[in-house]
Structure 1
Amino acid sequence: MKLIPVGIDIAKTVMHVHYVDEGTGEVVNKPIKRAAFLEHFTNRSPCLIGMEACGGAHHWARQLVKMGHQVKLMPGEFVKAFNIRNKNDAADARAIWLAVQQPSKEVAIKTEMQQAMLALHRMREHLVKFRTMQMNGLRGLLSEFGEVSAKGRASLDRAIPDILARIAERLPAVLIDTLREQWNSLTKLDEQISAIERRMREWKKDDHEVKAISEIPGVGLLTATAAVAMIGDAKVFKSGREFAAWAGLVPRQTGSGGRVRLHGISKRGDTYLRTLLIHGARSVLINAKEPGAWVEQLKSRRHTNVVIVALANKIARTIWAVLAHNRPYQKEYVSTKPA
């Protein structure tokens, strides 16, 4: 059965829909209120619905799939190429309608559990950033009164009691009390971050995929939970190389006339996941007693940062292999092409 292509530009309150009526051939491009959005598709024959993979897209995709429709989530960069003229909701819906009919790599629809885990990661990331901002703010304020402390949380915790005691002799008590409150609030942020990590560890116990990839060197709690939640369905990617390219860990290419030039990594995909993979690779390179012959050979002829990114690429491919083939990690496993 041929599915009717439909392009939807989603928003907070008004969705814009674009499709061609199968019976009359009329081009339909109209706004639909959020409350009536699902009702519009309830009694329709199965459609191929295209949407940009943005905020709220996974929720609407799950609801539409339950109604029997096929939903294709696409990256915004892919859809952008089909928006020919003005940038507005109607033009975006038409661009999505054109894009959904083209062969492309679709974004896997995430489950609510996967989105919940990503929400924990985002909240933890925000708390870590706010804690760093709080520390830097304290150090900056104290430097205004001639008190300079070394970088880092441990240095600040060691120095700040003596600093507050010294400046209390010449500054008003209201300022000293406020500075002390700000310093104590760092402990509260530590407790909130620890609580989120504890909930992640509880999820890890119940998820066999997270436990499986946690056995890979360089993959810790944060990387394992983030990777499983972001990938969704690993079989969406044809190979580990494709997944590494999706994560932005392969060289960016330019060229013409048959000559291809390779540059630094493309940095496409999710910055957070790529950062975790690179930090994991760095920890392996620093702490592993025997990182392996491949790493040692690469270190002899490449800069350390290049080796780290190459190892992160290898970790990403290993994660995909473990998830896609549903088998445990084997340290000495050698991949062979099927006959």
Structure 2
Amino acid sequence: MNGTAVGVDIAKMVFQVHYVDQDSGEIVNKQIKRSKFLEFFANRAPCLIGMEACGGAHHWARRLTKMGHQVKLMPGEFVKAFNIRSKNDPADARAIWLAVQQPSKPVAVKTEMQQAVLALHRMREQLVKFRTMQINALRGLLTEYGEVMGKGRTALDKAMPEVLARVAERLPAVLIDTMREQWNGLVALDEQIAGIERRMREWKKDDPAVKAISEIPGVGLLTATAAVAMMGNPKAFRSGREFAAWAGLVPRQTGSGGKVHLHGISKMGDTYLRKLLIHGARSVLTHAKEPGPWINQIIKRRPPNVVTVALANKMARTIWALLAHNRRYQKDYLGAKPV
């Protein structure tokens, strides 16, 4: 298999492998059990292995790379274009085998530490959603009994003691006790979220890349840690513009015959990172005393939401520039164009 391209469709227990044997010309499309997967590649010459960037792909990519193989992770959308048959494991492996031989931008293989930080982000996001659900559920249930409270956690905590005291006069004690338990459970969620953020701050102290981009206005703890972990290797992107496009912070384009029409942002890439960048940009526009001449000029010409996305795009480009060139943030830095 020296120099052979191999397509691998990974799964939980059974993997599908597709390649063409260079010596015999035989088309090989076979299943391999999970326990035998690494053994299959262990005693073979280095080859190009293609996989979809899905669950578990980064783990297998790291293991195969240590064996001397070249691993190329590809987005599922790119691989889908090469699936010319019904969707099944053999067809998917063949599509991956075709796709890996085409020129394309691979997905950077993440380290275990980067994946660990992303796992913290996912768990924190889940807890935040659950906390919001609990607050809305309590407000909705109490509305059924004529008790209307303002939106937000602060309004809930302020009104809850008096509301429970009033409805306790006419409602069963079992319901009141359950509502009080649900309300008190929000404190436990707060502690879990704070614990995750504390661990993120500890990682920030030890990672120079996270510390460097944290100095950018609008880039806080969550945005900095998520950007470093999701980007992987900054060199995987040719420019800051490409990274911003990957994050979905550029207009979607349509048109033909030489006419190009620009629409809203493409919303490609990771939804979570894009949300953090846009929230950070909105925070700068709202709270910054001196946003800067660039922002002041664009505010005069564009609506507020367009300005917010434009600033988020600029923040994404700045993040890439600092990480790719190993620099510190400079507020008034101007890039010199080559002569």
TM-score by length of 2: 0.99
Instruction: Note the C-alpha offset of 1:188.
Output: 0.3
Q: Name the CA distance, whole Å, in 2 between partners of 1:338 and 1:303.
A: 33
Q: Name the CA distance, whole Å, in 2 between partners of 1:233 and 1:114.
A: 10
Deviations 1:152-181 (A, max 9, x none): 000000011000000111111111100000
Map of 1:85-164 to 2, 5 A cutoff? 85-164=85-164
Q: Match of 1:6?
A: 6
- One-letter amino acid matched to 1:337: K
Instruction: Note the C-alpha offset of 1:34.
Output: 0.5
Map of 1:324-339 to 2, 5 A cutoff? 324-339=324-339
- Residues 213, 224 of structure 2: 8 Å contact kept: yes
Q: Match of 2:224?
A: 224
Q: Name the CA distance, whole Å, in 1 between partners of 2:232 and 2:3.
A: 25
Instruction: Note the C-alpha offset of 1:124.
Output: 0.1
Partner of 1:87, secondary structure, is: coil
Q: Name the CA distance, whole Å, in 2 between partners of 1:30 and 1:298.
A: 57
Q: Match of 1:286?
A: 286
Map of 1:69-88 to 2, 5 A cutoff? 69-88=69-88
2:60 is the alignment partner of 1:60: yes
Taking a change above 3 Å as real, the CA distance of residues 2 and 15 of structure 1, as seen in their structure-2 partners, is closer
Q: Name the CA distance, whole Å, in 2 between partners of 1:195 and 1:106.
A: 34
- Residues 7, 51 of structure 2: 8 Å contact kept: yes
Q: Match of 1:317?
A: 317
Q: Name the CA distance, whole Å, in 2 between partners of 1:88 and 1:255.
A: 34
Partner of 1:319, secondary structure, is: helix
Instruction: Note the C-alpha offset of 1:2.
Output: 6.5
Map of 1:204-243 to 2, 5 A cutoff? 204-243=204-243
Partner of 2:260, secondary structure, is: strand
Instruction: Note the C-alpha offset of 1:22.
Output: 1.6
Q: Name the CA distance, whole Å, in 2 between partners of 1:8 and 1:57.
A: 10
Larger displacement relative to structure 2 (288-297 or 309-318): 288-297
Q: Match of 1:169?
A: 169
TM-score by length of 1: 0.99
- Residues 14, 32 of structure 2: 8 Å contact kept: yes
The count of residues paired between Structure 1 and Structure 2 equals 339
Larger displacement relative to structure 2 (144-153 or 200-209): 144-153
Q: Match of 2:26?
A: 26
- One-letter amino acid matched to 1:238: R
Deviations 1:276-326 (A, max 9, x none): 000000000011111011111111111000000000000000000000000
- Residues 50, 71 of structure 2: 8 Å contact kept: yes
Deviations 1:207-240 (A, max 9, x none): 0000000000010000000000000000110000
- One-letter amino acid matched to 1:15: F
Q: Name the CA distance, whole Å, in 1 between partners of 2:12 and 2:85.
A: 24
Partner of 1:264, secondary structure, is: strand
Partner of 1:328, secondary structure, is: coil
2:61 is the alignment partner of 1:51: no
2:248 is the alignment partner of 1:252: no
Partner of 2:17, secondary structure, is: strand
Q: Name the CA distance, whole Å, in 2 between partners of 1:3 and 1:123.
A: 41
Instruction: Note the C-alpha offset of 1:254.
Output: 0.5
Q: Match of 1:189?
A: 189
Q: Name the CA distance, whole Å, in 2 between partners of 1:277 and 1:170.
A: 48
**Runs of at least 4 residues off by over 6 Å:** none
Q: Name the CA distance, whole Å, in 2 between partners of 1:232 and 1:58.
A: 11
- Residues 2, 45 of structure 2: 8 Å contact kept: no
- One-letter amino acid matched to 1:226: A
Taking a change above 3 Å as real, the CA distance of residues 2 and 254 of structure 1, as seen in their structure-2 partners, is farther
Q: Name the CA distance, whole Å, in 2 between partners of 1:247 and 1:232.
A: 13
Instruction: Note the C-alpha offset of 1:338.
Output: 2.5
Partner of 2:254, secondary structure, is: strand
Map of 1:255-274 to 2, 5 A cutoff? 255-274=255-274
Partner of 2:290, secondary structure, is: coil
Q: Name the CA distance, whole Å, in 2 between partners of 1:74 and 1:254.
A: 24
Deviations 1:95-148 (A, max 9, x none): 000000000010000000000000000000000000000101111111111111
- Residues 50, 97 of structure 2: 8 Å contact kept: yes
Q: Match of 1:179?
A: 179
Q: Name the CA distance, whole Å, in 2 between partners of 1:338 and 1:26.
A: 51
Partner of 2:7, secondary structure, is: strand
